[in-house]
């Protein structure tokens, strides 16, 4: 496999976007990414998306988007892995360019979620779970996470309020991200008083949905200086994808031997660490899948940043902030940047590239060299991990 570099990034703000359709939102991010890369085309287009069929009554997104951005004729396809669709699309793009099948690819994630009624969107999201044995019982996606969090509180003895730092940190970082859905600081008191959605998960444990798209352009690393002169002119650090791994688990939470352990996160991260030749201690920041505060905790544990049952301690000790030992959600995370589900995995990659290029503004992590992004489809069923590294500028 050839090594892969990311040479362009683009994103549209996560909003309730009544002005743009799904093709327009995707097009905006893709054109921005091509512009950032100094290109006008790419050999392939991979679109991460979960809900277009259900909520926009639109499938065949590969052709739809290729047509819209003026790249008719190119190889283009939609990739679906529930909320992990974005990272799944990136992984396919990496395999296509890495193998030599394509010389360049645009990988985008797009989702349009705010035009339908709440109950309809809730039902659509629940299709990530087991229709016959979970969803039929009236459990929502939030509900599944609530079942996990309730058990976690019971087994490890944490109080609900001990999870507040995850949400407070995400909101504080999103304040400085113009593309974020929420721009408001929250306090522990706000967290404690938030409206209950599915006990013990309240509104400030949960990420907001939204409309949005993000895109990256990938090429073989060996070609960056040779074939893309615009990149040499930019004097940017090369951003290399040094790890990419996907793993799956039982689809249904109830089938897992230990519902409090993200086995697929452990497996995919172990593979990605091995590919990159690093350990968790080498990771400068971690864009994790904090769809719910409990998921942030479980991810930190399964990826080797905290002992089992101890992740809330990292939050309480300030280790997850941009000045801590393992900064997370540095641009707001799912919690405050927002969670346009199939687009989220690519927002994470765009944000990681911003950090590694030194373009993260007020939430820039000093000397960031290695970033990790992890995207989860379902409540832990599909977990995809990417490790990005910035080449040192000589």
Partner 1 sequence: MEISRHWRLRKQRYGLMGEICPHCEAKLFPPRDICPECGGEAKTLYQFSGKGEVYSYTTIYEPPAGYEENAPYTVALVKLDEGPIVTAQLTDLGEEQVQIGTPVEMVTRRLRQDGDERGMIIYGYKFRPVGLGPH
Which residues are tagged catalytic? 83, 339
Please give the structure tokens belonging to residue 169. Answer: 């940190």
In the bound state with partner 1, the residue whose beta carbon lies nearer, of 95 and 153, is: 153
Using CB under 8 A, which of 156, 237, 250, 358 touches partner 1?
Answer: 250
* Residue 253 binding partner 1, by CB under 8 A: yes
Do the bridges between strand 370-377 and strand 239-248 make them parallel or antiparallel, or are there none, so unpaired? unpaired
Position 150 contacts partner 1 (CB under 8 A): yes
How far apart (Å, rounded) are the C-alpha atoms in residues 337 and 173? 9
d(CA 143, CA 139): 6
Q: Does 264 bind partner 1 (CB under 8 A)?
A: no
- Counting contacts by CB under 8 A, is residue 271 touching partner 1? no
Q: Per CB under 8 A, does 132 bind partner 1?
A: yes
Residue 200 in the binding site for partner 1 (CB under 8 A): yes
- Smaller CB distance to partner 1: residue 118 or 233? 118
Site string for partner 1, 329-368 (x = CB under 8 A): ----------------------------------------
Nearer to partner 1, 57 or 235 (CB): 57
Minimum Å gap between C-beta 163 and partner 1 is: 15
Q: Which is nearer to partner 1, 82 or 241 (CB)?
A: 82
* 122 contributes a contact to partner 1 by CB under 8 A: yes
Asked if residue 334 lies in contact with residue 141, where contact means CB atoms within 8 angstroms, the answer is no
Kindly list the residues in this chain that would bind partner 1 in the complex (CB under 8 A).
117-120, 122-123, 126, 132-140, 142-144, 146-148, 150-151, 154, 196-201, 250, 252-255, 259
């Amino acid at each position: 496999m050839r090594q892969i570099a990311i040479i362009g990034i683009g994103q549209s703000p996560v909003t309730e976007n009544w002005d743009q359709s799904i093709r327009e939102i995707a097009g905006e991010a893709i054109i921005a990414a091509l512009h950032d890369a100094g290109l006008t085309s790419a050999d392939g287009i991979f679109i991460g998306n979960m809900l277009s069929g259900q909520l926009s009554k639109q499938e065949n997104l590969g052709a739809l988007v290729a047509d819209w951005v003026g790249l008719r004729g190119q190889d283009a396809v939609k990739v679906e892995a529930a909320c992990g669709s974005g990272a799944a699309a990136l992984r396919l793009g990496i395999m296509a360019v890495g193998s030599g099948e394509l010389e360049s690819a645009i990988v985008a994630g797009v989702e349009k979620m705010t035009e339908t009624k709440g109950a309809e969107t809730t039902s659509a999201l629940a299709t990530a779970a087991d229709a016959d044995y979970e969803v039929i019982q009236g459990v929502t996606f939030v509900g599944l996470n609530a079942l996990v969090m309730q058990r976690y509180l019971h087994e490890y003895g944490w109080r609900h309020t001990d999870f507040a730092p995850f949400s407070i940190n995400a909101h504080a970082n999103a304040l400085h991200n113009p593309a974020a859905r929420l721009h408001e600081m929250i306090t522990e008191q706000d967290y404690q008083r938030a409206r209950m959605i599915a006990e013990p998960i309240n509104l400030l444990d949960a990420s907001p949905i939204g409309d949005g798209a993000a895109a990256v352009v990938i090429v073989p690393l060996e070609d960056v200086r040779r074939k893309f002169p615009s990149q040499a002119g930019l004097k940017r650090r090369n951003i290399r994808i040094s790890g990419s791994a996907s793993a799956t688990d039982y689809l249904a939470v109830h089938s897992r031997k230990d519902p409090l352990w993200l086995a697929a996160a452990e497996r995919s991260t172990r593979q990605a660490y091995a590919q990159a030749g690093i350990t968790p201690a080498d990771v400068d920041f971690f864009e994790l899948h904090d769809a719910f505060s409990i998921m942030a905790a479980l991810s930190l544990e399964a990826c080797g940043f905290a002992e089992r049952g101890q992740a809330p301690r990292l939050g309480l000790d300030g280790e997850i902030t941009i000045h801590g030992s393992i900064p997370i959600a540095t641009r707001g995370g799912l919690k405050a940047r927002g969670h346009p589900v199939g687009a989220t995995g690519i927002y994470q990659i765009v944000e990681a590239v911003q950090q590694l290029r030194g373009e993260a503004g007020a939430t820039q992590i000093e000397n960031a060299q290695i970033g990790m992004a992890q995207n989860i489809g379902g409540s832990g069923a599909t977990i995809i991990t990417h490790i990005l590294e910035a080449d040192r500028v000589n």
